[in-house]
């Protein structure tokens, strides 16, 4: 049994690093099994110090698949953006469930001696892992299938470069407060990455946001009648007046105002929003999100890599985008 200890003083930092590697909605403790950090942080450790990982035991490598090389390639694809993170594969072992493999990785940071442990299970098909209650893509190129799906099906309003070598797809809900906050981040990304093709995909969470589907339908019609520039003007106005989406009556006023600000006719957009074609378009966006296992808004897909945006600082997000822009290669 590998036991990897982590001091309470560094738990939150390492746990956050693991979270960013494998973006999940679940709690950090569930993913890393480490205690919460105390409020007072100790003085930084010697910058020349580094983690000393436990020596792997050959008896912990009982599974033929995945190989150590495949696990390492997966970790590099997920963690390569963070040059301070270092890791070592500690276990690739068979389990009592046929074909399911238990993988344990020791994780640390340059300049710090503390070590955390990440554990996940690889499914028999070798294409998925399970950790923290989530099922995620696994392979030496884990985001390729998602990227292909998005290139084919993410056809919402777009801005930026026409090429798709760097494609950023935002899944958002007009009634979601965090999505409202994320728009400033998307504007920064558009400015910092002019070569990015940025797509807005409406993902109305209808169970908790009763006006979100109608707002998405109006947006679909604004884009149809006025193109993407009109849509982004509409979207900015809806988010600005988001508080007005609290009831059917106030939502009508809010959406009509946003349509007018986009330069479109509210009556035409309202009529368009009720058509079967518009309903099908919105539902197609929902289906795309579901097929990708998007489980929260806002979520940003970076060449197929899903990153929940809530609470993620911009500089880290920028590093992840830069990494994929440099490493992923041209769109097929």
pLDDT of 4-63, one tens digit each? 433 333 333 333 334 434 432 222 222 222 222 233 333 344 445 689 999 999 999 999
Q: From CA 284, how far away is CA 280, in angstroms rounded?
A: 6
* The pLDDT value given to residue 48: 54
Whether the CB-CB separation of 51 and 17 falls below 8 Å is answered with no
Residue 302's nearest CA partner among 179, 206, 196 is 196
List the domain boundaries for the chain: 8-139, 145-327
Residue 238's nearest CA partner among 269, 275, 193 is 269
Q: How far is CA 310 from CA 176, 179, 185, 190, 277, in A?
A: 11, 8, 11, 18, 32
Enumerate the β-bridge partners of residue 183: none
Query: Looking at the domain that runs over 145-327, which CATH code has it been given?
Result: 3.40.30.10
**296 — alpha (psi -120 to 50), left (phi > 0) or beta?**
beta
- Helix 11-21 crosses helix 68-79 at what angle (to 10 degrees)? 100
Residue 110's nearest CA partner among 72, 139, 83 is 83
Q: From CA 43, how far away is CA 65, in angstroms rounded?
A: 42
DSSP 22-45: S--SS-HHHHH--PPPPSSPPPPP
**Extended beta strands in 139-295, E state:** 158-160, 167-172, 197-202
pLDDT digits (tens, 9 = 90+) for 234-244: 999 999 999 99
Of the CA atoms within 13 Å of residue 31, those in its CB half-sphere come to: 22
pLDDT digits (tens, 9 = 90+) for 70-81: 999 999 999 999
Enumerate the β-bridge partners of residue 89: 105
Enumerate the β-bridge partners of residue 128: 137
Count of beta carbons in the 10 Å neighbourhood of residue 324: 22
Model pTM score:
0.85
Residue 66 sits at φ, ψ, to 5 deg, of -75, 165
Strands 115-122 and 85-94: unpaired
Q: What share of the chain is helix, strand, coil (3-state, %, to 5)?
A: 45, 20, 40
Residue 196's nearest CA partner among 13, 331, 58, 1 is 331
Enumerate the β-bridge partners of residue 305: 302
* The pLDDT value given to residue 2: 40
Q: Is 231 strand, coil or helix?
A: helix
Longest dimension (CA), the chain: 70
Peptide bond into 298 cis (omega under 30): yes
pLDDT in tens, the chain (332 residues): 443 433 333 333 333 334 434 432 222 222 222 222 233 333 344 445 689 999 999 999 999 999 999 999 999 999 999 999 999 999 999 999 999 999 999 999 999 999 999 999 999 999 999 998 888 999 999 999 999 999 999 999 999 999 999 999 999 999 999 999 999 999 999 999 999 999 999 999 999 999 999 999 999 999 999 999 999 999 999 999 999 999 999 999 999 999 999 999 999 999 999 999 999 999 999 999 999 999 999 999 999 999 999 889 999 999 999 999 999 999 98
């Amino acid at each position: 049994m590998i036991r990897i200890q982590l001091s309470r003083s560094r738990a939150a930092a390492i746990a956050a690093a693991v979270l960013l590697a494998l973006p999940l909605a679940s709690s950090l403790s569930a993913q890393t099994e480490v205690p919460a950090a105390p409020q007072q942080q100790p003085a930084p450790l010697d910058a020349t110090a580094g983690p000393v990982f436990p020596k792997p035991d050959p008896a912990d490598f009982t599974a033929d698949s995945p190989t150590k090389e495949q696990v390492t390639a997966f970790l590099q694809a997920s963690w390569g953006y963070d040059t301070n993170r270092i890791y070592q594969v500690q276990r690739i072992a068979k389990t009592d469930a046929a074909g399911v493999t238990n993988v344990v990785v020791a994780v640390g940071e340059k300049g710090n001696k503390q070590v955390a442990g990440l554990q996940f299970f690889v499914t028999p098909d070798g294409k998925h892992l399970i950790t923290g209650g989530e099922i995620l893509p696994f392979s030496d190129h884990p985001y390729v299938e998602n990227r292909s799906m998005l290139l084919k099906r993410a056809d919402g309003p777009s801005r930026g470069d026409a090429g798709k070598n760097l494609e950023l797809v935002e899944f958002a809900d007009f009634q979601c407060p965090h999505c409202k906050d994320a728009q400033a981040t998307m504007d920064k990304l558009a400015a910092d990455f002019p070569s990015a093709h940025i797509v807005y995909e409406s993902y109305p969470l209808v169970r908790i946001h009763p006006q979100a589907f109608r707002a998405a339908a109006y947006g679909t019609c604004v884009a149809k009648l006025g193109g993407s520039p009109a849509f982004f003007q509409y979207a900015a106005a809806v988010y600005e007046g988001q508080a007005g989406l609290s009831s059917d009556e106030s939502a009508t006023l809010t959406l009509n105002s946003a349509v007018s600000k986009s330069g479109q006719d509210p009556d035409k957009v309202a009529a368009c929003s009720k058509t079967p074609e518009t309903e099908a378009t919105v539902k197609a966006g929902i289906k795309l999100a579901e097929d990708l296992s998007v489980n929260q808004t806002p979520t940003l897909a970076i060449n197929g890599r899903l990153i929940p945006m809530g609470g993620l600082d911009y500089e880290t997000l920028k590093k992840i985008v830069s990494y994929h822009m440099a490493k992923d290669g041209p769109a097929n």
